Amino acid sequence: MVMVMSKYLDLLIRNGIVFIFAYGLWILLGDSISSLVRESVRKNSVLRKAKRKNNFESNSLVRHIKRTLSVVLKKDAVHEVYIFLAGSILLFVFSFTAIMRLEGVFKGLIFSFLISLIPYLLLEARLRSIRIDSSYEGNKLVTTIINNYKQNSLNMIEAVDRAACSDQLSFFTKNNLLRLSLILKSYRTEEELDEAIKTFVFAYDTEWSILLGMNIKIAAFDGTDVSTSMEDILEELKSVGEAIEANKRFNNESFTMIRFILIPLYLFTVFISVTGFGFSLKKFIHYQFFTSIGLNFAILTFSSIALCFIVYSFVKKPKYDL
């Protein structure tokens, strides 16, 4: 019995010594160890989030929508991409729920998918309109960059920075140049520079912007003198001015009726139904949106009107391009 008690006492003393030693180490090093653990957990969490974000943004459709929203909103779109995608999905769900009850699952899927594409088509139409308007700044933009490039001893980064503050350019172009300037001052790899140039070119989507972007990259990346090349771009831009203006006048005359006829024509059908056929407005709305034939006709009508306006925005004004 005494031997057993002695063994347990010896074990207790040994464990106590180990505990006291460990406690002393914790008092001395505990804060440092805790900090290291917290920092490791934080870094792993940040890396996981960054990886998920990179996987999401590496999707070509998401990247395209992000660039498009950045151009349309005139700022770097981050959360707006998620809002746009969520809104499109909700539009699909609501339209599918409403159409499925009258038309069945198959037609509901088709019509809902087409309806959910309308925000994207409108976004593309707005992008097209912005690109066309901004393409007419090609002369001023290239001239401004050339002048600043020469005045700043062939320093392209400084030239773009100065051009972003020019009073000769529109707010859209200055904003686009400012975002490019920030990247030119801080990029670390050629891939970052390429992405910045692609984003800059995307806002215009013209041959002259592609050539200008290439020259900006070459001059900023390795300091090559590109003044002669940019002057060639400017000469080519000046030579296409007359043809562009002629096409612009032709398109304005051809598509004026789209703006002033389509919607008034639909409203006229509502007026005729109420006054000529004895429909009340409530009855017309019921037949138009809460019956199978009326809903099909409404979808066809409004889709055709939206399509006409989208096509009109695409072709009403030609790009100022080479």
Residue-wise pLDDT for 203-213, tens only, equals: 999 999 999 99
Cβ atoms of 141 and 110 closer than 8 Å: no
Whether the full predicted model's pTM is greater than 0.85, yes or no, is: no
pLDDT tens sequence across 81-99: 888 988 888 988 888 888 7
Angle at 93 between CA 87 and CA 97, to 5 degrees: 145
What pLDDT, on a 0 to 100 scale, did the predictor assign at position 300?
A: 81
- Per-domain boundaries in the chain: 67-133, 137-239, 246-315
Mean of pLDDT over the chain: 79
What pLDDT, on a 0 to 100 scale, did the predictor assign at position 50?
A: 44
What pLDDT, on a 0 to 100 scale, did the predictor assign at position 294?
A: 81
On the 0-12 / 13-18 / 19+ scale of CB atoms within 10 A, 282 is exposed
Range with the poorest average pLDDT among 112-126, 156-170, 292-306: 292-306
> What mean pLDDT is predicted for residues 127-135?
87
Separation between Cα atoms, residue 276 and residue 271, nearest integer Å: 8
Cβ atoms of 259 and 312 closer than 8 Å: yes
Estimate to the nearest angstrom the gap between the alpha carbon of 159 and the chain centroid. 26
**Contact residues for 132 (Cβ-Cβ < 8 A; gap 6+):** 317, 318, 319, 320
Task: Identify the CA nearest to 317 among candidates 174, 136, 71, 69.
Answer: 136
What pLDDT, on a 0 to 100 scale, did the predictor assign at position 129?
A: 84
List for the chain the helix, strand, coil content (%; round to 5).
Answer: 85, 0, 15
Does residue 215 register a pLDDT over 90? yes
Sign for the CA dihedral angle at 45, 50, 55, 56 comes to positive
> What mean pLDDT is predicted for residues 13-19?
61
On the 0-12 / 13-18 / 19+ scale of CB atoms within 10 A, 38 is exposed
Separation between Cα atoms, residue 243 and residue 104, nearest integer Å: 52
